[in-house]
Chain A
């Protein structure tokens, strides 16, 4: 496949939208944040740096977190313990939701019903039934809705996706992704275990570890990376088989401390013949050697991707794209190589000789959490429902990760659910 200049311009255009917002001097967008824990605090800090955002309220039902959120938000933001009260009293224009997974549907649905635009943290919903209902509600409401899968706003991923779409790594043959780290995945609890309040606080703060509130590693980590697979392959998986368990952290948790999944995607080649791409996904809590990354493996090259680094390794002995070709900026030549927005591709050090020297996608200028919010606010202002991560993307992502958990429980292949 050839690489067109349009591919590049489309990629670059998304980055340019970031800057245009700063110039807008229209009335500020009034935003409220519900859930001011770890992620909510990140989002609050980012929102307070975006021109044209007025953070009018923060809400959390856990006082220490509300206090922290209020500190980051500033004195103009009112504080609420009950989000329904916030919605009634202040009528924000947009609501940013960062509560535990099991509350995503209820709070997002209430906000949409009340007529507000919604930014909802990933994973979209706790169950597929909820995700389907919410997606339908979003469509009916015509509200701006975005799911917090921030790689969709990350310059490296956007560029890499354009490179894959342009055929620069040939036919994708396999995807390997993992999120490996080495810690118990526990949040500290502010009272000793002997305290009568400990069990309650443990479940409140470590909601991730309990099945009633959480879908475990797949929802908290895998959702980001399986969304990359769905996005780059342009479809959802056909089926999955997965295995997981609690093998090391036997501390009362209910969600697996490790999981391995094999997904199958069905694609069609240029002749219309179908072929299968297999994606391996693993998550570990007790070995950090491989870190968190996605590898997109193609017949002509491989992409190694993290939020901070994107590397392209070209397969040796294949018909590689000429990076040096067509230096003329003005040539409307469809064979022009994809170039990055005003930056050079740097040759990096390479510890693995057989992989060849990588090219680095060197365009990471901006934080993807901030950029996804800039984009959301921009869509709110323009009343544009085509967000960078809309309800259908969120629904597909949600179905993709839930089917792996289901496979672990049933012990067999699980097909992608019918719509």
Chain B
């Protein structure tokens, strides 16, 4: 899959702070720039703790997670969830509607969201929620809220080298690696105040694709990758997943028909 490289030009008077942690089955990095290193460290740890908290709540593999609690009741009862999770599921539902079903965390299985009861009911026992196509981006967006609350003016957050969020007006150059030739940089993207997500059909080590076309239920085939820039990292991730599932030509029609989405989309074909 395409990889993202990040580096930015040094600015005088600013210190940089970097921290990494493992979450959501991959690695997250937090790069911060500011005047006070002790402050940056504390903020970076707070962002990381938020990412780890969300990993624990959203992982479908961890039986202690909130998502696992919902998935266990699939086809049985409506499960009361907390307001944060409900809002995220609502965002996913809006994403599903906006992409004509091409983004669907239930893989076409269906659910009922009850806003008054703050509950979710999975339609049948076979349906499971998989937030793999939005969780990293959502975690980065929550990280941005922390950065803003604690006045960090410039930062780059990334998860799994596929989701990136640039915070602040500073431009961060992002190099996109070729999906199958790791030494080859296909494009450089300048990212400021925006989220970026790169979805690829095939992971280098992994076959078949872990992205499923929710309308047909089959894993994607081919070698394409789709890079989306959007206002938030969650949006970027939702659309990179959906557009890739649509395929380049259908996606281009879709984007022409929906010019208000305010997305920048790049396609990489091996």
Contact = CB atoms under 8 A, between A and B. Distances in A.
Interface of A: 45-46, 48-51, 64, 71-74, 183-184, 186-193, 251, 308, 364-368
Q: Is the interface of B mostly helix, strand, loop or mixed?
A: helix
B42 A187 contact: yes
B80 A48 contact: yes
Contacts of A366: 63-64, 69
B216 interface: no
Given A49-B82, A187-B46, A189-B39, A364 B150 contact: no
Interface string B20-54: 00000000000000011011011101100000000
Contacts of A251: 38
Contacts of A187: 42, 46
Contacts of A184: 38, 41-42, 45
B147 to A, nearest CB: 10
Contact of B82 (A64, A72, A364): A72
A193 B36 contact: yes
B64 A48 contact: no
14 contacts: A48-B82, A48-B83, A48-B118, A72-B84, A186-B45, A188-B39, A188-B46, A190-B149, A192-B36, A308-B62, A364-B64, A365-B64, A365-B68, A367-B56
Nearest to A193: B36
Given A48-B83, A189-B150, A366-B69, 12 more contacts: A49-B66, A49-B81, A49-B82, A72-B84, A184-B41, A184-B45, A192-B35, A192-B151, A251-B38, A364-B63, A364-B64, A368-B64
Contact of A188 (B42, B69, B79, B82): B42
B182 to A, nearest CB: 29
Contacts of A365: 63-64, 68, 72
A188 B150 contact: yes
Contacts of A367: 56, 64-66, 69
| CB-CB nearest 6 A-B residue pairs | A188-B42, A45-B82, A186-B42, A188-B150, A188-B43, A365-B63
A127 to B, nearest CB: 28
A51 B117 CA distance: 10
Contact of A74 (B35, B39, B79, B83): B83
Given A64-B149, A192-B151, A365-B64, A186 B83 contact: no
Contacts, number: 73
A45 B81 CA distance: 8
A49 B85 CA distance: 10
B90 to A, nearest CB: 14
A72 B41 contact: no
A120 B146 CA distance: 27
Contacts of A73: 83
A49 to B, nearest CB: 5
Contacts of B81: 49
Contacts of B63: 364-366
B70 to A, nearest CB: 10
Contacts of B66: 49, 367
Contacts of B62: 308
B150 A46 contact: no
Contacts of B72: 365
The residue among A64, A73, A183 with the most chain B CB atoms within 10 A of its own CB is A183
Contact of A190 (B36, B82, B151): B151
A33 to B, nearest CB: 13
B69 to A, nearest CB: 7
Contact of A193 (B39, B41, B56): B39
Interface in B68-95: 68-69, 72, 79-84
Nearest to B48: A183
Scoring B36, B63, B69 by chain A CB atoms within 10 A of each residue's CB, the highest score goes to B63
Contacts of B80: 48-51
Contacts of A190: 149-151
Interface string B143-176: 0001001110000000000000000000000000
A74 B118 contact: yes
Contacts of B149: 64, 190
B86 to A, nearest CB: 9
Contacts of A72: 82-84
Contacts of B79: 49
Contacts of B35: 192
A191 B83 CA distance: 29
A368 B56 CA distance: 12
Nearest to B77: A22
A183 B81 CA distance: 32
Nearest to A191: B151
A364 B150 CA distance: 36
